[in-house]
């Protein structure tokens, strides 16, 4: 079965991806981009990422990878390992949205990555190592300059290879 498995992550230049269970920035264009690239997909995420969402996001399935066998949330499908998360998604395109541990677990099977590079040294408590660029090839980049008090950022699409 061949399907797209896309890592979707926003990462500051210093590796920070989170602070106190939320994003350490509020960039409307980045949120719009996230919505666009995840719409119609089965989103796979860890429990902490699920808890950080404002609620169920419309137009997407929510598959939560957790070690807790008793964990349950309305609207979420529960998986306990990579294989069961992939099986739960079926033939639907997949967006793996975090956190850092979940991205690392799925990186070996991912076919693409939608990386938002936030051009700042963000303060935060959750850090993600950069993707191994030897495994990935950049196919597109859209640059956005800093404006209106917001940092500059780049939307970068990578594919395996």
pLDDT digits (tens, 9 = 90+) for 93-147: 999 999 999 999 999 999 999 999 999 999 999 999 998 888 999 999 999 999 9
Instruction: Check residue 1 and give its pLDDT.
Output: 46
Structural domain boundaries in the chain? 5-160
Instruction: Check residue 159 and give its pLDDT.
Output: 97
Q: What residues contact residue 30 under an 8 Å CB cut-off, 6+ apart?
A: 10, 116, 118, 153
Give the whole-angstrom CA distance, residue 157 versus residue 144: 15
Answer whether the bond into residue 155 is a cis peptide, omega within 30°.
no
Would you say domain 5-160 falls under CATH 3.40.50.740? no
DSSP of the chain: ----EEEEEEEETTSEEEBTTB-S---HHHHHHHHHHHTTSEEEEEHHHHHHSSSPPTTSEEEEE-S-TT---TTEEEESSHHHHHHHHTTS-EEEEE-HHHHHHHTTT-SEEEEEEEES----SEE-PPP-TTSEEEEEEEEE--BTTBPEEEEEEEEE-
pLDDT digits (tens, 9 = 90+) for 6-43: 999 999 999 999 999 889 999 999 999 999 999 999 99
Please report which confidence band the pLDDT of residue 69 belongs to, taking 50, 70 and 90 as the band edges.
very high
């Amino acid at each position: 079965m061949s399907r797209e498995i896309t890592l979707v992550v926003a990462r500051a230049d210093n590796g920070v991806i989170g602070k106190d269970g939320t994003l350490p920035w509020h960039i409307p264009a980045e949120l719009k981009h996230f919505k666009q690239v995840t719409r119609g997909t089965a989103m796979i995420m860890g429990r902490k990422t699920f808890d950080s969402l404002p609620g169920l996001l419309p137009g997407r399935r929510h598959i939560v990878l957790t070690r807790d066998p008793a964990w349950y949330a309305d609207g979420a499908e529960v998986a306990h390992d990579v294989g069961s998360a992939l099986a739960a998604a079926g033939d639907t395109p997949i967006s793996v949205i975090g956190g850092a541990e979940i991205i690392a677990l799925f990186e070996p099977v991912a076919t693409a990555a939608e990386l938002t590079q936030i051009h700042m040294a963000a303060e935060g408590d959750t850090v993600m190592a950069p993707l191994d660029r030897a495994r990935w090839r950049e196919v597109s980049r859209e640059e956005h300059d800093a404006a209106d008090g917001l940092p500059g950022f780049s939307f970068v699409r990578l594919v395996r290879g």
